[in-house]
Amino acid sequence: MRISLLGPPGAGKGTQAARAAARFGLAHLSTGAIFREEIGRGTPLGREIEGIVEAGLLVADETVDRVVFSRIGGPGGFVLDGYPRNIAQARSLDAFLADSVPIDGAVFLDVSEGEVLRRLGDRYTCPSCGPVRAPGGACPSCGRALERRADDEPEVIRRRFQEYHRVTGPLLSYYGPRLARIDGDAGVEEVWSRLEQAVMPWA
C-alpha cells in the first residue's frame, strides 16, 4: 500500500500515519519530523530550512521532493505524512513513481478550524517523555518543564492554517477518484477506525 495523509496542521496526520504504518507494515515518512530532526542536528539542510519552518512557511518544493525521493526509491509500501503539500509536489511524486509502483491514493483528514486551534493550543513536548497534551507548565509524568514547537505558537498556527488552505486545498481535486475523505473531528480511535476502513481496498 502506498498512501498519503492530507490535512491541516493538528489534523492528527502523525498519529494516524503511525497507526497505518504499524497495521499495514508500511514505512512512515513525515516530512515535518524529518525537517525538525535535521534542524535539531544542525545539518546543512537543517540550517537552510530552519527559518522557514519556524515561521510556519513552506520549504521549497525541490528541497522537499529531494528529501522524500531519496527515501522511497525501493519497492516497499509507505504512508506519507505532510507530503505532498501542493499540486507541484503531487505531480513530481506521480512522475517519480511512474516507473515503479504508483501511489494508491490520498486520505484527507477533514478537521474544523476550531478543533485544530483547540488541539494545537495544548500540544507540548517534554524533553524526556516526548509529546504530551497538557495546558502547559510541567510534564504530568516526570515534572520537567514542557516545551512548545516554535511553529505551534498561536499566530504561527494561524499562518500555517491560511497557507494550508491556499496551497493544499486544490490537492483534493487533483487526487479526485484516488481521494478518501474522512471526518477527522472525532477522537483518535474513531478516526482510526474510519481511516482503516477507507484504506482497506488498497491493502
Residues identified as active-site: 13, 85, 123, 149, 160
Ramachandran angles phi, psi of 65, nearest 5°: -55, -45
* Residues 81, 29 contacting (CB under 8 angstroms): yes
Q: Are the CB atoms for 83 and 89 separated by under 8 Å? A: yes
Residues near ligand AMP (CB under 6 A), total: 17
171 sits near ligand AMP (criterion: CB under 6 A): no
Contact between 45 and ligand AMP by CB under 6 A: the answer reads no
Closest CA to 80 of 184, 3, 25: 3
Residues 7, 12, 32, 105: which binds ligand AMP (CB under 6 A)?
32
110 vs 138, beta carbon nearer ligand AMP: 110
The residue from 58, 93, 157, 195 that contacts ligand AMP (CB under 6 A) is 58
Is residue 8 near ligand AMP by the rule CB under 6 A? Answer: no
Q: Which amino acid is at 195?
A: L
DSSP per-residue codes, 90-135: HHHHHHHHTTSPPP-EEEEEE--HHHHHHHHHTEEEETTTEEEE-S
Give the shortest CB-79-to-ligand AMP separation in angstroms. Answer: 13
Residue 85 half-sphere exposure toward CB, CA atoms < 13 A: 24
Out of 1, 3, 17, 64, which residue is the one contacting ligand AMP (CB under 6 A)?
A: 64
Using CB under 6 A as the binding rule, the residues of this chain from 111 to 170 that contact ligand AMP are: 151, 160
Residues 6+ apart with CB under 8 A from 196: 19, 20, 23
Interaction of residue 83 with ligand AMP, rule CB under 6 A? yes
List contacts with ligand AMP (CB under 6 A).
9, 31-32, 35, 52-53, 56-59, 64, 82-83, 85, 89, 151, 160
